[in-house]
Structure 1
Amino acid sequence: MTGCAQVNALKSKAGGNPATASTPPPTRTETGRTLSFAAIVNELQLGHYNDGEQDLRQYLAQHPGDRPAQAMLHQLTVDPKQALGTRSRTYVVQAGDSYSTLAARYLGDPGAFLILARYNGSANPSVLRTGETIRLPASNPAASATTGAAPNASVGDALTAPGGEASASELPAAKAQRLQRESLSLLDQGQNDQAMARLGEALSIDPGLKPVGPQAVALREQLLSSYHERAIVLYRDQQLDQAISLWDRILAINPNYEPAVIYRARALELKHRLKQI
């Protein structure tokens, strides 16, 4: 599962009403490159840990109070075993699983995808293959991840600060519906990128989530188009597993998304030909 879809997974934990929370403007580097939190999360999702850490530190130098960015840096630099615990159990990856969906299901926060990937020694959180065996923490890690975390708090609560409005016991379907409502609220406020990220988080939890109204339909099409465009770039760079993973995500949401069907088949064919060389 991909980066842009994870951005507001931590934003929603930062306290206050997520529908009205302000998002810092992008940071411009000395070379003129623009850094946004969404772009940095995408970078980390593809396993560019060193560059992502450097960019996060530059971003935080401009926005030192951005708690979601602080939490993401903590996920990137903390010892995963210290944060999630040394005791673990095995899990066989099923179709449709990603580090984001597994973090949502077992850690209570899809935004904790990075620490779960590092817990498993993954160099690329966007790639998780069906049938692969990974490790999950044997116990709830949130209570030990930070001082004062509630026993049932999510990892996201522990990595940021207490005070997020969502209950850790919230059912996945209910959480996905809430996040979709928040995405529409953000859209109404003209925060299109944040709205897409929030909807992406909702769909990472429940790919079959039904859109509510024409605005939700249009926003979903925009999100799928952005996933497809990113997959095309990966495909052209012959990063085929990552591209296929993105197209799988699209098709889990909309099995009739024709560009994803066509290009996924091409990617699989190219991957097969490259193996024969």
Structure 2
Amino acid sequence: MNDTKHSVLLILPLLLLSACQLGGQKNVAPSPQVVATNEQPAPKLYTGNSHQDVIAATNALHQGRTADAKIILEYVLNQKPDNYLANKLLKQINTNPVALLGETYFIHQIKSGESLSKLAKQYLNDQYMFFALARYNNIANPGRIKVGDKIKIPGEAPSITEIASSDTTDNLDDEEATSEIEALAETNIAEISEPIVSNDVEIAEQFERQNYHEVLLRATQIELSPFDQDLVKEAALALSKEADEEGAPARGLEILSNIGVLLDDPQSLQPRINELNQHLQAKQTLADIDVSERPANLYESLLTVKRQYPQLATTSKYQMLQSKLSEDYHTQAMLALRQQQLDSAIALWDKVLTLDSKHELAIIHLDRAKSLKQKLQSLE
């Protein structure tokens, strides 16, 4: 009995101690695990400065980052829908390259120092068509091509004379040039990376503010990058258009002539120069018109002037000649109508309305003359 009691007394403290330990435990939620991550917030692709953004898009295309370039270009065009280079680059992204460049092509083997931009300038007359040329050849990264690669160039193959004049290895004979290309191609290390497009900050800023005179002034002070040249050309074209609209095509021609010497491709200005020369000729034609000329000659001269240079139609001399000739033709048409010469009257009123589409009397009498002619024809 005593032994049993002693055993119970020994076990009881142990049970109490165990119960206390169990009662003291709490259900604690496990601490959440912190998962390490290397993810960074997506970088902002555009700055808000359209010219810097177009440069960034151009470089992105050179590096094969088409999606990034498209985002930037769409942003730029949302802000400035008429941005010339942004439209050109986005068109190359969105348009089938064969539809853009044509189905006819010849094969060209890449030489040392060549790039898609240089080839685009040489054969497509536009270095910024490099991306269309890349897509034409299924090249994912336009900025990295290998010497010895063969690519398709849109258009007809140049003549031997043209090749010789533009060959970048013209200081080597054919055998040396071929050996150099083959050696570089075999080693597979001659990757050509297109240089990053750069521009002059002052030119970009002045262009952004539409201070085109300042752009042209700055252009005479520095060596222009290809991107600078595009801005300078656009500024010159804008100023020449402004001069033309003010009736001063000669001033527009002077602007383009002065800027042409600074550009690698002055021929790109030629269409505008031709237009200004035509306007200058029309202006001289108007100045030479004599009010005493025969109506037929005066009529043809006025139509020529209006067709070549519509702005001249608002000048005082043009409007004076137009009014005089319109009234002369209207008077002759009324006389022809009284003499029942309907065809002559209708032809004269047609001329009046060609000169002045709002001539009210001509509109009324021409309609009556045509109605009368129809009635007479129905009676025959």
Identify whether the pair has TM-score above 0.5, normalized to the shorter chain.
no
Alignment TM-score, normalising by the size of structure 2: 0.31
More helix by share: 2
- The TM-score normalised by the length of structure 1 is 0.41
- Which of the two has higher C-alpha Rg? 2
